[in-house]
Amino acid sequence: MQHLDTSAVHAGREDFLQLGVHASPIDLSSTYPVTDLAVGTASLDALVAGEASAANPIYARLHNPTVARAEQAIAQLEGAEACVAYGSGMAALSAVLLARRGAGNHVLVVRPLYGTSDHLLASGLLGIEADFVSADEISARIRSDTVLVIIETPANPTLDLVDIEAVVAAAGKVPVLVDSTFATPMLQQPLRHGARYVLHSATKFLGGHGDVVAGVICCADEDARPLRTVRAATGGLLHPLAAYLLHRGLATLALRVERAQNNAIELAKRLQAHPAVSRVHYAALGTVANAHLLGSQMRGPGCLIALRVHGGYEAAASVMRNVKLITPAVSLGSVDSLIQHPAGLTHRVLDAETQLRTRITPDLLRLSVGIEHTEDLWDDLSAALDAAHPAVDKAA
C-alpha cells in the first residue's frame, strides 16, 4: 500500500498516461449531447438515483468528470469507498442532514464545532431537531428517531479532541459524522475508527491556497448514493474549476501540513511562555481535552493554535490589528498564516451563553499556522502581543 504522501500526489491521476496528459483535464460543459435517447434516459435515471457515473453525464448539475476525479483522489486519502463534493462545507453538511431525514429527524451534536454548523443545527432550518450533548451523554440521549451523531475533532475553535471510537460505541447503530477539517487525512482518518461519514470543509487544507470554496463527504458507496441524489436535486455540485484547484492542492497537502505543523509546535511553546498570553490550547502541550489521543487517533497535533490573551476583547482586537505578516481573517489551512477572533467572527452567530459554555471567550484568538519561516511568524506575533500590552517587558 502506498504511503499517504505518495497517494496525495498521485491519487486521481492514475489514467494520465493513458490520456496522454500531465495535468488534470477540466470539463466546463454545462450540458452533454444525447445522440442515443435510450442511453441518455438510462443515464439520467442512474444519476438521479445517485450512481457515481453513467454513460452520459447529461447535465452538469448531475455529474462532472473533473469533480469526479477530485472525489476519487480524496476518497483514496480518507480510505473511503466514495467521496461526494459540494460547493461548500455547509452544503456538504446540509446534504447529509437531508439524506438522513428519511429515517428520522433527530440528531445529537457534541459542542464545540464550527459556528455556522452549530447555527444551522440549532435553527431547525432543515427540519432537524438537534440536541447538544457532551460525548459521555450520547448513549443516554439517543431516541428511536435519532439518525445521526455529529462531532468535530479537533474542535473549532478550542482544539479539544473527541474520542471517535468511544463516540461510535456510545452511538450504537446510529451513524457518526466527524468533521475532520482541522486534522486532514494526513493526521486523522475517522472511518478507520468507526465513523460512517467524514466531513471536510475542503476550502481549508485540502485546497490549501485560499482560492477554493468546497466541501466533501467521504463514506461508503451505499451512503454516497443518497448524498448524490440530494446534490442533484438541490444543485450543490462543486464547480469544475474549483474541483481542478482542489485536486491540484492535494499534491502538496502532506508537505504543507508537515511544515505548518512544525511551525505550530514551535509557536505554541513560545506562546505559552509569553507574558501576554494566559493560555494556549494545543494538543502537543497537553492543554486540550483528550490530548492522550495524540499518537493514536491523531498522528500529530496539527496546524492550529488557540490562545487566550490577558486584557480580554480589547487585547485580542489589538493583536489582530497589529499583525503585519499574519493575515487577520477567517478561514484556515492556507499556505499563509491567518488569525481571527472566534467570538466576534466565526462563532458570532452563537448566543453569548452558548459561547461562554463552550469556552469561546472574548479573549480567545485562533491562529492557523502557515508554511512561512518560523522566526518571521514569531517576530510578527510577539510584536503584536507586545503592542497589545505596552507594559510587558520587551526582553521577556
Q: Which of 158, 203, 196, 191 is nearest to 175 (CA)?
A: 196
Q: Which of 177, 193, 184, 179 is nearest to 296 (CA)?
A: 193
Catalytic residue among 27, 118, 179, 380: 179
List the grid coordinates of 384: 503584536
Residue 60: φ, ψ to 5°: -65, -20
List the grid coordinates of 223: 451512503
> Would you state the torsion angle of the CA atoms of residues 48, 12, 182, 243, taken in this order, to the nearest 10 degrees?
-60
Query: How far is it, in rounded angstroms, from Cα 363 to Cα 346?
Result: 14
List the grid coordinates of 102: 428519511
First to last CA, the chain: 49
Catalytic residue among 59, 114, 244, 282: 114
Residue 100 annotated as catalytic: no
Residue 118 annotated as catalytic: no
Listed as own residue / partner, the contacts of 120-123 with beta carbons closer than 8 Å and 24 or more positions apart are: 120/90, 120/93, 120/94, 121/97, 121/150
Catalytic residue among 69, 204, 259, 359: 204
Residue 204 annotated as catalytic: yes
Residue 179 annotated as catalytic: yes
Among all residues, which ones are annotated catalytic? 61, 114, 179, 204
